[in-house]
Amino acid sequence: MRRLLHRWLTRRARTPRWVRMTLALALGGLWLISIAAPGSSPASEGGPPTTLANAPRKSPEPQPPGAPTSDFPASPRLVAQGIVAV
């Protein structure tokens, strides 16, 4: 098994050398450009969005603690138990 693996890893390449070199240079250049490029989304850290044409100057206020965020359906049983106010 070890001999077979060594033979497979050291076998002769089937693609021409110029194709492998061109592909290596192209992929290396793309990788280098992608590493050197600045981040595309600086607003991901939080705060108001600044990339819009008419961006707000501050973030919207969040809901205060304990404030309902959505409406829940009221059934007679839940009203009787005092869980939902009508």
| Total count of domains within the chain | 1
Q: How far is CA 14 from CA 5, 32, 85, in A?
A: 17, 27, 76
Residue 15 in domain: yes
Question: 34-84: per-residue pLDDT in tens?
Answer: 888 776 555 455 665 567 666 666 667 777 787 766 666 778 887 888 776
Residue 76 in domain: no
In sign, the C-alpha dihedral spanning 72, 75, 80, 85 is positive
Task: Supply the range of the domain harboring residue 14.
Answer: 1-37
Residue 58 in domain: no
The pLDDT, as a whole number, for residue 48 is 58
Q: How confident is the model at residue 85 (pLDDT cuts 50, 70, 90)?
A: low
Residue 52 in domain: no
Residue 21 in domain: yes
Residue 32 in domain: yes
The pLDDT, as a whole number, for residue 24 is 97
The pLDDT, as a whole number, for residue 43 is 46
Confidence (pTM): 0.37
